[in-house]
A and B are shown apart, each in its own frame.
Chain A
Amino acid sequence: MDRRRSMRRSGRRYRRPWLKKCKEYMRNFIAFLFSNVGIIGLVIGYTIAGSFMIQALERGKPIPVQSQAMGNRTLFAKKLWNLTMELNANVKLQEKEYRAAVDIKLVEFQKIFVNLTRRGYDGSDDANGFKSWSFAGAFLYCLTVITTIGYGNIWAHTPQGKIASIVYAIIGMPLFLLYLSNIGDVMAKSFKWIYANFCLCRWCPGVAKRRAERRIQRDQQMEDNDSNQNTDSSSGSTNVSIKMANMNSRPSVVSEGPTLFSDESYDVESVNVPITVCLMIMVGYICGGAILFFRWEFDSGWTFLDASYFCFISLSTIGFGDFVPGDKIYGQVEFDEILELKFVFCSMYLMLGMALIAMCFNLMQEEVINKIRNSIRTVKYIFRCR
């Protein structure tokens, strides 16, 4: 009796920690997945999986538009033949007449053909979509789906592909939003730290001390001025002036408080990155991207304005798709590797850029909220004063 009980007890003792450990591991793992590094991996993994899926669904399937375009072309060749025969039968073939007749026919041909192009024909005879659904292309496609950019330079043609991309988008968009908020937060924090330590030169020996001294001096001066002005202007009601002085000193204390007392133990959280810096970062990123794409796509006739327009349209997730890097006519492209590299780089640029913009918005929001709070306080004070 005694023995059995002890055995059970020992068993329980051994099982419980193991379970707990397992649970702990699981929790850690999930927390890691949804935290900083994990979410990047999750998004990239999701995109890669999606590109494999869409490749499997779309590659090698006949694209109806492509075959339609080819059929259309042979039909027109036939029509031209008939026309030539007709003209030849009547009189001796005259160049002018013939040209006019062919021109009319060609306009007709062009109209049908443009309609086909809008529905996805890309000028190549590749009826199975092997070229357009290379891995890098599929990757870019998946990224444009989950970031809701949607260039529309390539899209799913088969019904299965369409359904798959709908489902993919519905699952992927929240994931990407999660990525943005998470990475934006982390980047904002780290940027704040960098800004606090390097740009404000907290680590340089003399600067911080001098700055603090200067600030104290300035504050004292301001207070003196205020009190002087108040006593001058409202000599009758001393009551009001005291209130004014109190109120004036209060916000300054609030804003300068942490910097006054802590030269060494400086609080990073209290640093506010000014809006101009955020804007500069965004403009710089867009300009950098523009220069890069301008260099790359010089052959296909992009101007600098076009490149910066592309960067802006992409990063604001509008995504018209009139300019896409590596999006020439597929029949003419011979260096497929360069094309792939461009696609990959474009997707990298997008992912990093959107995170950066999320970071900037994070910082700007903080700053704006701070400013609004300050201004509300002053407005309230002014009204109360009257």
Chain B
Amino acid sequence: MEISNERRGRSISRGRTPTRYGYTPPRAQRRHRETVKECCKKIITFMCTQVGVGALLIGYTVIGALVFTHLEKRGKNIESSEVETYRNATVKKLFQVVMKHNILNREGFKVDANKVLKLHQSHVTQIFKHGYDERTVDEIWTFPAALMFCLSIITMVGYGNMVPKTNEGKILTMVYAIFGLPLYILYFKNMGTIFAGCFKWIYRRIYECSTEKEGNRKKIIVPSTACLWVIFAYILTGAIMFSEWEHWDFLDSTYFCITSLCKIGFGDLVPGADVNASNHGNQTKIVINFLYMLLGLGLIAMCYNLMREETRVKLNEMNEDFNQCLEDTKIRFMACCRKHKQNNRQYEGY
């Protein structure tokens, strides 16, 4: 009964507009509720579609970074103590070498010292492969670095210059990836549409300005070469930027940019991973790399979107052309055949 009453009330209010100004309390309440509902709906759609996803992604990485720094800083520096023991052993061996060559045989000392050093090196390399970094845990897991680490998980880049060493950290990495990957994919798709819209608008404006033709309003499609140029320019700026900061070769920094944006992420070259450089400079580099990656992946999504659209249109056109061509040839063929038959008949007649 209530339902039908409400429905009737709604239909009345819709039918007669003047009654809207009569402020009866239940209706006002209802309106209030509706506005709240509307607001909620708007917020949810905003969160799921527009900038909200970007904010969600950044929030997720920030939370992840906080958790990871907390977890990993609790882990002990097992590796560094191990390295210390190795170093002590090496020192002892060196002393033995010195005692052996106490008559100071220079060449012999050199050879033996080299051997000992090599042994030390191979030990340290082995530990390094398991993640030793010549820095303490507190130095490695700074906040920007952890941010970059989280981003490298959820974007599937995986540089591998810093990895979780504690067991909890490893488990958390897996869980984090499971929830992060869909979020990232959502971000990728959304950013693709937004950027594609913006880029299309800009392109259209430029196109209209340059041609100055009015009336001829057909749908403008951004050619894929434009997208490629944008990506190319982005990679070029990144390459120049990183080569300036990190004193890499130009080729190296280009290689870094491309492998990062393709999500391969070898991790042989990572900005802000230099041990000898100052820690503060490294942090800014890492933050800038973070922003570069975030924007670059969005740009790639944009290009993907635009190029897909273009290829779809082109495929359609091609299909139509092909069909027309087929039809044409068919008609021509038929005509030819008919002519032939006629000719034959004529010949037969002769």
Contact indicator per residue, chain B 251-282, by CB within 8 Å of chain A (1) or not (0): 11011001100111111100001111000000
Q: A118 at the A/B interface (Cβ < 8 Å)?
A: yes
Choose the segment among A31-39, A46-54, A260-268, A326-334 that binds chain B (4+ C-beta atoms closer than 8 Å). A326-334
Q: B109 at the A/B interface (Cβ < 8 Å)?
A: yes
A109-B109 in contact (CB<8A): no
Q: How large is the interface on A (under 10, 10 to 19, 20 to 34, 35 or more residues)?
A: 35 or more
Q: Pick the contact of B267 from A117, A123, A152, A329 — CB < 8 Å?
A: A152
- Say what secondary structure dominates the interface of chain A: helix
User: Taking CB as reference atom, which chain A residue is nearest B252?
Assistant: A162
Residue with the greatest number of chain B CB neighbours at <10 A, chosen from A125, A162, A318, A327: A318
User: Taking CB as reference atom, which chain A residue is nearest B268?
Assistant: A155
A169→B265 CA distance, assembly (Å)? 12
Known contacts: A78-B110, A237-B1, A318-B152. The answer to whether A149 contacts B158 by CB under 8 A is yes
Which chain A residues numbered 166 to 182 have a C-beta less than 8 Å away from chain B?
Answer: 166, 169-170, 173
Q: B129 at the A/B interface (Cβ < 8 Å)?
A: yes
- Say what secondary structure dominates the interface of chain B: helix
Give chain B residues whose Cβ lies under 8 Å from the Cβ of A144.
264
A95→B263 CA distance, assembly (Å)? 53
A sample of 21 cross-chain residue pairs with beta-carbon separation below 8 angstroms, ordered by A number, consists of A77-B114, A84-B109, A85-B104, A113-B124, A114-B134, A150-B158, A152-B265, A159-B251, A166-B254, A166-B258, A305-B167, A309-B170, A309-B174, A313-B173, A316-B156, A318-B158, A320-B160, A321-B158, A322-B160, A327-B129, A328-B129
Q: B177 at the A/B interface (Cβ < 8 Å)?
A: yes
CB distance from B103 to the nearest CB of A (A): 11
B266-A152 in contact (CB<8A): yes
A115→B255 CA distance, assembly (Å)? 19
Give chain B residues whose Cβ lies under 8 Å from the Cβ of A125.
118
A-B contact count (CB 8 A): 183
Give chain B residues whose Cβ lies under 8 Å from the Cβ of A2.
347
Q: Pick the contact of B118 from A73, A306, A386 — CB < 8 Å?
A: A73
Give chain A residues whose Cβ lies under 8 Å from the Cβ of B132.
114
Contact indicator per residue, chain A 299-342, by CB within 8 Å of chain B (1) or not (0): 00000011001001100111111100001110110000000000
Give chain B residues whose Cβ lies under 8 Å from the Cβ of A24.
none
Q: Pick the contact of B258 from A169, A313, A385 — CB < 8 Å?
A: A169
Contact indicator per residue, chain B 302-314, by CB within 8 Å of chain A (1) or not (0): 0000000000000
Q: Given A155-B266, A165-B255, A305-B167, list of 7 further CB < 8 A pairs?
A: A73-B114, A110-B134, A117-B128, A155-B268, A162-B255, A312-B174, A320-B267
Give chain B residues whose Cβ lies under 8 Å from the Cβ of A84.
98, 109
- 3 smallest A-B Cβ distances: which pairs? A123-B125, A320-B160, A150-B264
CB distance from B178 to the nearest CB of A (A): 8
Residue with the greatest number of chain A CB neighbours at <10 A, chosen from B95, B98, B104, B167: B98
User: Taking CB as reference atom, which chain B residue is nearest A166?
Assistant: B258
Q: Pick the contact of B94 from A80, A321, A322 — CB < 8 Å?
A: A80
Question: Interface residue count for B (Cβ, 8 Å)?
Answer: 70
User: Taking CB as reference atom, which chain B residue is nearest A73?
Assistant: B117
Give chain A residues whose Cβ lies under 8 Å from the Cβ of B157.
150, 318
Choose the segment among B12-20, B83-91, B210-218 that binds chain A (4+ C-beta atoms closer than 8 Å). B83-91
Residue with the greatest number of chain B CB neighbours at <10 A, chosen from A120, A319, A386: A319
Give chain A residues whose Cβ lies under 8 Å from the Cβ of B258.
166, 169
Give chain A residues whose Cβ lies under 8 Å from the Cβ of B120.
106
Residue with the greatest number of chain A CB neighbours at <10 A, chosen from B125, B128, B131, B153: B125
Q: A102 at the A/B interface (Cβ < 8 Å)?
A: yes
A337→B178 CA distance, assembly (Å)? 36
Q: A69 at the A/B interface (Cβ < 8 Å)?
A: yes
User: Taking CB as reference atom, which chain A residue is nearest B163?
Assistant: A322
Q: B159 at the A/B interface (Cβ < 8 Å)?
A: yes
Known contacts: A93-B98, A115-B274, A115-B275. The answer to whether A107 contacts B117 by CB under 8 A is no
Give chain A residues whose Cβ lies under 8 Å from the Cβ of B110.
74, 77-78, 81
